[in-house]
Amino acid sequence: GRSTQGTGTELLQLGGWSRGSRMLVGRVAFIFVLISCIDLSNADCPKVKTNMESWDWSPLSGVQVQFTNTTTRDGNSKWTVHLCNGVYSNLHDYGTFTGGAGSIKFHQPSDTFYMMYENGDRGQGCETNARQADVYIHCQGCPSYLEQSNSACNLQSAPCVCAAYDTGCVGEVHMVVNCPVGIPNYRKGFDVYDASTGIEEDISKVVIKDGEVMPGWTDEDIPSVAHDRAVIPGDVSSAVFYLMMADEDLQGLPASQEVDAPDVFTDQPHILAVTMSGSAARGGLVDTRDMLMLQLDFHCYQTGLADVHVEISFANQYYPCDFAFTYECGMGESGSDKSNAFTVFVMVSFLLIVAFCVMGCAYNYSVQQRRGEDIIPGIEYIHMARDLAEALMSRSGGVGGFSSTSRRGGDSTEGYQTL
């Protein structure tokens, strides 16, 4: 069977999964999702992590989609699908989403795609527990057996994209997207240079060369400060990168290139927020004479390590550039300086308060001839604050109004009414 979800003139075709009822399918601009649960070992698919705009799936909750049951291939393909260690029927239950519970996150059709199921999604078959499954997709083209077996995914329409997730069920996801013809290539001549301070000297200042990420600037699952990793210390509040075209033989390619607005994010948003500015922040044109500047400003919420990702794409013309680095929140010299400055401020303030109190007490005792607690400077304000607090507590106990009594005088006629 086929679903009628889709855009343009192409239909979304879905390949086999399991036992029965409904499946949730999202339509995202210009991409057509083709899902078939097959043995992950047969897929040669890179996993690329990204975190971008959200697309709420709740309006599609409960949509039922029928799958084509393709549990075997012809002899030329030489593989068999294993669905959760068994073969199920043509319908599958992905559960029911509520608003905000399920989201699909994406960048550009030719870039990366991120999907997450969460919160109470308990389908039948092998999904016995609530799942939080990530799908990572890269525009790398599909293996030939996928192009041959899926009518919606062929070179005449657009190359496939393959990806996989392995939380809950092991499966494979196929998409038809607006990729360049054939396997996307890197943009020769496009370079990104790091102009930040504090990064170790043995880490290349060349971040991207001919569209490819250089060692030290690649993505990693867990932020680290390894010696071969680009690490920006906490005393560097901003990082600067220059986007440019190299003045060299480009093998017939244009000497200028339009770049999209960079996508910048961190995997640890509870530790770090990153904002960007500069001439590259909205995208633009780079050539051998004019370059664009991208400035990243770091705003730490707490001490810790955070991975920062930067993705630069080229309006689907070439393979997008991705680089990443580690930022040390609260671990640089500025963090220590700020901590020391705060400590000094507290100590100075304390000493000034003590000196003021001693001098005030001496003045009230010797000049004003006060005794007891009245020698304390500002004692009347302390009494007023205490009386106000008692009045507030009385009001919270159900009293509609009250009068305050001064320690040094009679009853006040000023009443406080409850709100």
Nearest Cα to Cα of residue 29 among 133, 112, 106? 106
Confidence category of residue 209, pLDDT binned at 50, 70, 90: very high
Q: Output the pLDDT for position 336.
A: 41
3 state DSSP class of 101: coil
Confidence category of residue 13, pLDDT binned at 50, 70, 90: very low
CA 414 to the chain's CA centroid: 55
Domain coordinates in residue numbering, the chain: 1-184, 190-331, 332-370, 378-419
Counting beta carbons within 10 angstroms of the beta carbon of residue 40, is it exposed (0 to 12), middle (13 to 18) or buried (19 or more)?
Answer: middle
3 state DSSP class of 265: strand
Q: Distance between CA atoms of 307 and 302, rounded to whole angstroms?
A: 14
Contact 330, 234 (CB under 8 A): yes
2.60.40.10, 3.40.640.10, 3.50.50.60, 3.90.1300.10: which CATH number matches 190-331? 2.60.40.10
Q: Distance between CA atoms of 217 and 60, rounded to whole angstroms?
A: 39
Q: Distance between CA atoms of 295 and 195, rounded to whole angstroms?
A: 10
Q: Does this model's pTM top 0.85?
A: no
Q: Distance between CA atoms of 313 and 310, rounded to whole angstroms?
A: 10
Q: Is the pLDDT of residue 177 over 50?
A: no
Higher-confidence residue: 272 or 61? Answer: 272
Q: What is the pLDDT of residues 178-200, one digit of tens each?
A: 333 334 467 889 999 998 777 77
Q: Output the pLDDT for position 357.
A: 81
Phi then psi dihedrals of residue 24, to 5 deg: -95, 125
β-bridge mates for residue 323, sequence order: 310
Q: Distance between CA atoms of 233 and 197, rounded to whole angstroms?
A: 9
Q: What is the mean pLDDT of residues 385-405?
A: 64
Q: What is the mean pLDDT of residues 50-66?
A: 34
